Amino acid sequence: MRDAGFFGFLGALLLLGLKRPFLFVCAYIYVDIVAPQRISYGLFSSLPVSFIVFGLAIAGWLITDKKADMRIAPRQILLLLLLGYCGLTTFYIAEFAEEAFDKWDWVWKSMIFAIFLPLTLRTRLRIESVLLFIVLALAAIVIGAGIKTVFGGSGYGSFAMMVDDNSGIYEDSTLSTAAIMAIPLILWLTRHGTIFKPDKWVYIFAGGLIFACLLTPIGTQARTGLVCAGFLAVLMLRDVKRRGLFVAGAALAGLVALPLLPAAFSERMGTISNYQADESAGTRIAVWSWTLDYVQEHPLGGGFDAYRGNNLNYYTRDASLSAGGDVRTVNRRLVTDKGRAYHSAYFEMLGEQGWIGLALWLSIHLAGLVRMEWLRRHYRGDKAPEGFGWVSPLATALQQAQLVYLLGALFVGIAFQPVFLMLLSVQIGLDTYLARLRKQAAQRPLVERIGRPGLAG
């Protein structure tokens, strides 16, 4: 039955793509995020679904899309340089070649699609369609996570959604980061969407989806999600009109939700302020320290999964409290570990791709933040041409989503996860689309002058 549902939905989408080839691009976004081939137990799981749909997306663009005035953004060039550098470290530097090639097998596909996607985003409708598919693909996972949380299912590392596999987008901290990242995109689609025009049903669904996004960090018990949610609330203060009411509402919601939170969630969140008593946090710090030492000897990085060579020794501290809340005893315990992952996209890039890879990755993200800020200001209020009032809110939403990702990436190794690369692609697509329109608008007065009597020559 599950396979029949996947076949039916994806098959219908691909059939529609024969008439509107851009839908092949949207179909790939769905496949890359939800990964139905991982959820299936039958024939669907044995088919190269991702490869097939990706091929259709490329072919559809090559055959039907206009190539006139196609713009290549500097960030696409940086992504291509990063892809090439990752290839060099994989083939010539990687210390764990077999594991490196396993990661390279999905990283290069994700990066190629991220470079390709902006070329297809030539209209507002296409940009909105991609955002809608990203949000709805995440919703397919997040809604289930929210329902499971409401009915008492939770637990870090054991919060299985549609697959019993704690990796990729289904990894707890990764999903929590993506869920919070999606909130500003949901709000923009609710207010400015044209595919599903704002009405009461859109508001009801969007409200429920945002609630599910906020429940996801509770169900997964991922501290990263809680930090990202708080950070997003601070970011949103910049644009809300009634800041006092917003802060009061957020505080009230927190007070109401606090007694309803599972005890295990409260205990796990409590380790944020006492990281030395938490082995997971201690491991992160030890791995980061090891990575800094590692790149002193390997400045070009060690290739994908270079962390497998680490050996860690560090102390944790367990403090027991008296009845009055005073510290009674502090116990130090030596922890020995090896082959622990980076638990940070920044250190992931540094350890695997060295200083060059980290510099390229940071440049890509810094450029995205700067460009979104420029668009946000350039198209804000009265500065926006008629019909372009949607641009500044979208630039703001994309910037907020990226900042949430960059904060979550401090604590999770998600430098190459497809859904976050797609976010960069939408930024690039929006930027190049508007640049093309500005160029056309600047040329129009010249064409009009040349066409007047007496000026044609």
- Looking at residue 253, what is its pLDDT? 62
- Looking at residue 320, what is its pLDDT? 54
Beta-carbon count within 10 A of 253 CB: 12
- Looking at residue 208, what is its pLDDT? 92
Q: What's the CA gap between 223 and 172, in Å, rounded?
A: 10
| 3-state SS record for 234-268 | HHHCCCCCCHHHHHHHHHHHHHHHHHHCCHHHHHH
Beta-carbon count within 10 A of 235 CB: 17
Decide if 56 contacts 17 (C-beta within 8 A): yes
Q: How many residues does the chain have?
A: 457
Q: How far is residue 124 from each of residues 114, 127, 419, 432, measured CA to CA in Å?
A: 18, 5, 20, 11
Residue type, 401: A
Q: What's the CA gap between 367 and 76, in Å, rounded?
A: 11
* Non-local CB neighbours of 318 within 8 Å, separated by 6+ positions: 277, 330, 331, 333
Residue type, 365: H
List the structure tokens of 120.
């297809």
Q: Where do runs of H (alpha helix) occur along 20-123? A: 22-34, 36-39, 49-64, 74-88, 97-120
- Looking at residue 456, what is its pLDDT? 41
Residue 138 host element (H or E): helix 124-150
Residue 423 forms beta bridges with which residues?
A: none
- Looking at residue 457, what is its pLDDT? 38
- Looking at residue 446, what is its pLDDT? 54
- Looking at residue 277, what is its pLDDT? 46
Q: What's the CA gap between 186 and 177, in Å, rounded?
A: 15
* Non-local CB neighbours of 25 within 8 Å, separated by 6+ positions: 57, 60, 61, 117, 120, 130
Per-block average pLDDT, block size 10, for the chain (457 residues)? 73 89 94 82 72 92 85 94 96 92 94 96 95 95 85 58 70 91 96 91 93 87 86 88 69 59 55 51 83 93 91 67 51 74 93 96 97 94 84 96 96 93 96 91 64 48
If DSSP codes are grouped into helix, strand and coil, which group holds residue 312? strand
| Per-domain residue ranges of the chain | 2-268+343-445
Q: How far is residue 303 from each of residues 90, 292, 319, 331, 457, measured CA to CA in Å?
A: 5, 15, 39, 38, 62
- Judged on CB neighbours under 10 Å (0-12, 13-18, 19+), 139 is buried
